[in-house]
Structure 1
Amino acid sequence: MNVTTAFRNLDSHGQHRGPEVIRHEAAALEKRLARFRPDLVRLEATVSQARGKKRIQADLRLGLPSGVIAARSEGFETEPVLRKAFAALGRRLDRHLARLQRTTEWKRPTRRARIGRLLPSARDRAEADRRALYFDLIEDHLVHVYNTIRRELIYLEASGAVPANRLSVRGLVDATILNGLDRFEKRPSEFSVGDWLTRLAYRTIGAEARAARRALPDDAARLDDAPEAPAREPTEADQEMHEFYQPDDVLLLEDLVADEDGEEAETWMARREAALALHRALADLPALWRRIFLRLHMEDETADRAAVVLDLSAEDVARLAEAARAFLHQRLIEAGHAPDSADAALTDIPTHMAQIPQPLEYRDRIAAAMTGHGDERPHGAPDPAERADH
């Protein structure tokens, strides 16, 4: 490692101790840089003190083939200032080496195993009974919470309000359940358990969506990274290779035999295009308008009940629902649908909304966290066979 030092306006003690500290710390630093060729590593250390001032400043700059790392420290004595600067440089070097070794990727399975459970074991019997009581209250509403979060997250990602793949349905469901556990004894008396969980789900989604928008984008580039090479046009050899590996079109049996029980392809395509246009329009709605509209027209709730859940007045709910319907109607017409077709699509909204059962894995994790029994049924819960009959 090549070491370059510079000392400006230091007293005799600083001039004497500075080089000794730098040599000692540089030797310790060099052991962590064994993966790099010594002639490609350069350390620059500058220790300076303004004339007539007592404050000392140390600047370190470590040049590596993979980037440059810098650290700075200030104080009133040369040796402590240098050691503090080298400590900061060492921490940044560790993070840099971890990125080069992709530590976050190969250590990820260990982290997943550690966070696989919602909660640690209950501390005492009282906490265990509290969790079991909470699970008894929410168990029948888990599917509704799952579908509410799944639907809202899809719309937020489609509209660009949340970066794709930044949030997960499982993580949002877990956060909603944990938020409810913290405050279920203090839930408002005017709410049913289902409405209370729905309100918590909306608040959780809103908070996590705001945090996701403030987070650093996944494709953000470091300033000291080399720019990517511009894309090149495919050569003739590339095109020939692509065409060679393309599978041939194979005629399948269903292409020859007609399905007499199925609907006509034109009718199916028209219904599908109307559903897609409706979902695109729903994604463009403001979140509050969308929640009001879906609760009134998909879940057949009254304006008074939706107002309680969304913390609005019944008049505001009716007004926003009418505005949302007019917005959706106009969007469907702009998408090429006739006014009658747009009215029919808005009337048949429940047929376009799929209610998906909650994955058993999600429910088992919640049951294990709240009851302490992963494979056993909690006390008082119905048997799976009985649930299947319903």
Structure 2
Amino acid sequence: MKIVPSLMGSTHLTAADWVALLESLLRKEVVPLLDKRGAADSTLHATLSQQKRGGDLFVISLRLSLPGKKIVVVQGQGSDPRQAATQAVERLFRETKRHFDRLSGQHQYKRKARRQLLKQLKAKIDALPEALNTEGKAGIEPLLERLEAAARRELAYLRAVGDLPMDYPTVQDVVDEAVAAARVSWVSGRDEDAVYRQLLKNLFKAIDREVAASRVYQQSDPLDAPAPADAMQQAESMVEEEIYEYYQPDEELSLADVLPAEAFDPAASEPSQAEIDGASEQTFAFEVFKDLPVGWRRSLLLAGLDAMNAAAIAEILDTTEESAQQWVMQASSFVHARLADAGVIGTEAGQVSVFAVLRALR
């Protein structure tokens, strides 16, 4: 966890003392919870102020950004910094746990809904003529590896910006849905490229539905606002705390999932300085790509990694050919400018090769 400290008014603590105090309290419950839920890199903004009116009173405001685009804001008060911090951290733990519990419950509901959807699609597949069913299965099978790679890439970007939690949906979840939808609407005689475009279209739609369902928006109170009543303390005496079963991810996505396979050599043991520099540049390139609007990023990657033209991209993304062409150009210009500013590539004008960007080659 990264702590961003702030001191207001005349307090006897230094910024380092303030951070050390928080760390000693957070490591008991909050840090283990964040580690367990894959949110160890969360940023905590912590403000300590001392009010003189009515006697010395220390007020602490904590603001923690969590997966699911959630911001938890809590406050604590006390006659000394430790007392105020202890109260604030206890509230922070409860609100953070409540958020993760809610996400866990949502995931259980969404997994049940997904099973029902796949069951309905399977029933439609079984109702197809046997010859058409066999043809669809045979036509899709050779494309599964490419489709899974595209799914990993897309999920990695969306998780990196907080649009999806780390553990749901899995690659297999969205691939299964895309494949089932393609088999239901199978049309005989299509070539492999047309089938792959349909699979990608289904894949993006499945992922977009998950993003829409996972969005959690919260209006946060200003840090200097009065501390809200702790409703959790009132509720604990009336209701029994629910216990949720945490879902553990069955896979981990990394930078390797969004880069061309040939950019990595797992067998290499002692990387050269050039390889170390290249890995650093690749990481920066990933950071640039994840900042692109979704349509721009998908268009640019389809153009570069899959060598698709504007017509094919428009078909997959349900847009016009003109829009697809503009998205590729706009995304290319943005990526080129950001990487040129960072000195990763040269400043010469021209179309940016997506492969060159991903490998962060000069």
TM (norm. structure 1) is 0.43
TM (norm. structure 2) is 0.46
